[in-house]
Structure 1
Amino acid sequence: MPGKQAIRRRMHSGQTGKGKNCAVRDLQEPSPARKPLWLGPKWVGYAANVLSILWHAGEPLVVPPTFYRKAFDILEEFRPPQVGLKHCIQSNGTLISDEWCALFRDHQVEIGISIDGPQELHDRYRVSRNGRGTFHRTVAGIKRLRSFGIPFHVIAVLTRESLRDPEVIFSFFEELQPNRVHFNIEEIEGINRESSLNFIEVREELARFRQARDSGHRSSRVHESGLMTTEPNPRSP
């Protein structure tokens, strides 16, 4: 039956940042270098006509581009003629180089960048191992994508700070010009043991955020942005 199917490949060989909005290395799982492809013919065979493979978690670009070229070639070898493959990578953008851009271009990889808004918001949670904010390195990666003519989308985590001034958030992303923006609500998950959205007025703040998003003067990339529907549980009075 025609359609699409997605497989998520979690990369656990390490990461370039730490903090609430970063995934953590899973030391129990072999690194991609030791376990390069658990995806085999049986997985590819599940797809009807398009199989999307999402490489994410931790930071997928910590392994060299040659790893992906080899992985893509092996998957292509097992691909049935009636099945198309679409590779997607979700990255913090800090390691993007000319070599990475060549890979994205050659294999038409869909690239997503994790950036939470202007520097003061982004650097609050997305920091490097030395505790420094990653905003400038992420923006440098985006500029390199643009120089190669590679489109990108954005995933941004909504925190209490970002809900306070939605106009600043939306203006930032309109200027950044991604193909689309997806907003994820900060959740209590993994190493993130608390959420800044755990406050009484959170639903009202989210409603105001949605209203600002849906205002008529927004560009299409922001007006049609996705917002996770999972509602946080506000703290009781």
Structure 2
Amino acid sequence: MPQPLLLIFDCDGVLIDSEVIAARVQCELLLEEGIELDAGDLAARFAGLTWPAIVERLSEETGQRFSKAFMKRVDDEIDRRLGTDAEEIAGAHDMLDRLELPRCICSNSSAARLELELDHVGLWDRFRPYVFSAMDVGKAKPAPDVFLHALRVFEVAGERAVVLEDSVHGVAGAKAAGCRVVGFTGAAHSYPGHADALTEAGAETVISRLADFPAIVEVLGSWQDI
């Protein structure tokens, strides 16, 4: 297989341990609407999906409709907490120090939220201006749009890009874009069977420590795609 030329990172749940923070906010405010959910279960079920997509699924399950004002209140509170409580995934800075290939972020989060949380943990300047929000370029993951946008910007073919993803939806989108994918299970929202789910979605291998990613990138060029 050809040697990688581009590294693509998801943000939430890969670089920043933020999925659980968002899920806690969502559960707290959903409880006010009469819907009781566990934050860990919600994070595991809906990791990688946008808040509107989560609300759509909850509406299908419960029959309850949610106002735009409620959805905005949840988004605003998530932004507030990410700006104060978010932490980098252990080893993120050290990992980036060991990687020399061009890199970018492809996320379902909004551009404003990405800048907010990445700046809070000191990672914004390590990626800008190559921080891409699916909201700005097309459909959200599991659609491949944001990954295809990154490939066009860097003028790299999909098989020459390696994506690090923590969600089934993200893995599916990256595979649909023709990229090679490494799954990640090192965030707080990881769950039993997480690695198997990522493998079934198309990840070639799965790691639980960011420290292992540089070595994986080195050997991917000699692996047969599976």
Task: Calculate the TM-score normalised by the size of structure 2.
Answer: 0.31
Q: Which has the higher strand share?
A: 1
Q: Which has the higher contact order (CA 8 A, sep 6+)?
A: 2
* Higher CA-based Rg: 1
Task: Calculate the TM-score normalised by the size of structure 1.
Answer: 0.30
Q: Which has the higher helix share?
A: 2
